[in-house]
Structure 1
Amino acid sequence: MSAEDLENYETDMELQLYREYRDVAGLFSYVVETERRFYLANHVDLQARSADGEIYFDLTLQDAWVWDIYRSARFVKKVRVLTFKDVNIEELTKTDDLTLPKDADLGN
């Protein structure tokens, strides 16, 4: 497989992932961004913890969707994330502009 083939494959996978995100975003109440992943979830519990003088975040998500191009199953019942970096959580409303119009050109 050439470098160009690999790049085309990854571009295709990213486009498929974005389309899936667009289709499922309206099913969730929260957008959660960590240092390594992006999630959609319907329940979020964030706890700041400390150990040996270091602060970290213990994040539990339920009924979630994971933005990860390499996961075969992106819907998960429960996710627990431990991170030393900030966590961004946004509550969605049904009027948020997270979804594109159905007629948006995505290379179909």
Structure 2
Amino acid sequence: MSADDLENYETELELDLYREYRDVVSLFSYVVETERRFYLANEVELKPRSAGGEVFFELTLTDAWVWDVYRSARFVAKVNIVTFKDVNIEELTKPDMTI
């Protein structure tokens, strides 16, 4: 496999992932970004914690979708995340009417 073939393969995987995201985003209520992953979820629980002078966050996402091009099963019932960096949680707005 050449470098061009590999690049084309990865580009196609990313495009397929974007298409899947576009198709499922309306099913979710929240967007969650951590330093390692991007998630869609319908329930988010955030708990700030500290231990040994370090602050970290525990996140529990329920009914989630994971943005990961190499993951075969992106829909998960529950995700537990521990992160030491900022977490961005955004509530998605739902349109009043769909056509």
Q: TM-score, normalised by structure 1?
A: 0.87
Task: Return the offset for 1:93.
Answer: 1.0
**Deviations for 1:27-50, whole angstroms, at most 9, x for unmatched residues?**
000000000000000000000000
1:38-77 aligned at under 5 Å gives the runs 38-77=38-77
Which ranges of structure 2 fall in alignment gaps of 5 or more residues? none
Report 1:1-108 matches (<5 A).
1-95=1-95
- Aligned residues: CA RMSD: 0.5
Q: How many residues align?
A: 95
* TM-score, with structure 2 as normaliser: 0.95
Which amino acid counterpart does residue 16 of structure 1 have in structure 2? Answer: D
5+ long unaligned stretches in structure 1: 96-108
Whole-Å separation in 2 of the counterparts to 1:3 and 1:60: 39
Partner SS for 1:71: coil
User: What CA distance in whole angstroms lies between the structure 1 residues aligned with 2:62 and 2:83?
Assistant: 17
C-alpha distance in 2 between matches for 1:82 and 1:6: 33
Q: Percent identity?
A: 78
